A = this chain, B = another copy of it.
């Protein structure tokens, strides 16, 4: 029925008033993460595909999915070398996916970053270059030339799913001479420690050893709803702590490595990035002694969209809860701390069991609490 060449979202808005609604089953859940001191927390998914490589949707769908998920930034990173739909989409310009998404997003508060995948067999593997100027120039016979061109375009480049088992049957990343050279040449700046639902501790080790930005992305080819939402998952994202919500700020932050990769209740990042995020995610709403006791009732709100699992690290035990407890996304949790004597303040000290600052190392987070009269 739709016949006017309008942007998709406007069409849907036009249609909706005459579309009888039974009742709402919203499957998408908007992602939410608070800003941290000094920075905006940008929710980004920088690894996605459309019909312009081996994905199954037009770029407009990726924009709409991002808006539904409350993302701040996306990048469509087509395989420029792998074009299974070439018979029908023979367009020689590898920038088309970006251009269409940019047009669709133009009336929304969503940044679309120009990107491309550079795809090779092992040991080179797959990498994404973003903030590029022209994807066509990245299409070269030699992978080295593609990376060199990405550097010429001042791109931020990260290694995709280094632990991917079709390229490494142990499921561990293999840092080859190729990657070592790229890092030395300043041609590789980040690494996915989370890709789809897969987290590799060994990739985190590489990130820390080589000072690469820690990334997490959906690598979506089909639909976010089918691959993630419907299974009870949020899509993986890279949180980037940027001075402003602009492409320039985002780029600066990525090169500075101010990121945390997130998949559901798993948060992975350098300590200096992850601890302030966790501190901001939990807001202490109330701290008050129960009646005439020395039991301090502390009510915490998790303002993020990730369930957060904590373990008590204080010298004081709890009155009610287990020492291990979850504060569900968006919800409030009250713990009762037996301080033995009444105090004016307390340093709430918890280990974040679902968060990692290094392989097997979970951060201990502190919040200064002032007790209400």
Q: Which residues of A contact B (CB under 8 A)?
A: 1-3, 5, 8, 11-12, 15, 17-27, 49, 51-52, 54-58, 60-61, 64, 79, 82, 84-85, 87-91, 96, 100, 119, 126, 160-161, 163-166, 169-172, 195-202, 219, 221-223, 225-227, 229-233, 264-266, 290-295, 297, 309, 311, 317-325, 328, 331-336, 338, 340, 353-354, 356, 359-360
C-alpha gap A302/B267 in the complex (Å): 25
| Chain B residues in 8 Å Cβ range of A323 | 201, 356, 360
Known A8-B222, A20-B320, A223-B61: A295·B165 in contact at CB below 8 Å: yes
User: What would 12 more interface pairs be, CB under 8 Å, given A1-B161, A23-B232, A322-B356?
Assistant: A2-B54, A3-B119, A3-B166, A8-B56, A20-B321, A22-B233, A64-B222, A165-B295, A201-B317, A223-B225, A225-B225, A266-B322
| Chain B residues in 8 Å Cβ range of A221 | 2, 8, 11
Known A163-B319, A219-B1, A320-B199: A172·B338 in contact at CB below 8 Å: yes
Residue of A79, A85, A317, A325 contacting most chain B CB atoms (<10 Å)? A317
Residue of A18, A27, A356 contacting most chain B CB atoms (<10 Å)? A18
C-alpha gap A292/B11 in the complex (Å): 17
| Chain B residues in 8 Å Cβ range of A320 | 18-20, 197-199
Q: Are A24 and B230 in contact (CB under 8 A)?
A: yes
**Nearest 9 A-B pairs (CB), nearest first?**
A22-B232, A23-B232, A266-B322, A169-B293, A171-B338, A171-B319, A27-B27, A56-B58, A198-B320
| Chain B residues in 8 Å Cβ range of A61 | 56-57, 222-223
Query: Which of B169, B227, B232, B297 lies in contact with A18, CB distance below 8 A?
Result: B297
Smallest CB separation, A189 vs chain B (Å): 20
Q: Which residue of B lies closest to A87 (CB)?
A: B91
C-alpha gap A198/B121 in the complex (Å): 51
C-alpha gap A119/B89 in the complex (Å): 24
Known A223-B223, A309-B309: A317·B202 in contact at CB below 8 Å: yes
Q: Are A297 and B57 in contact (CB under 8 A)?
A: no
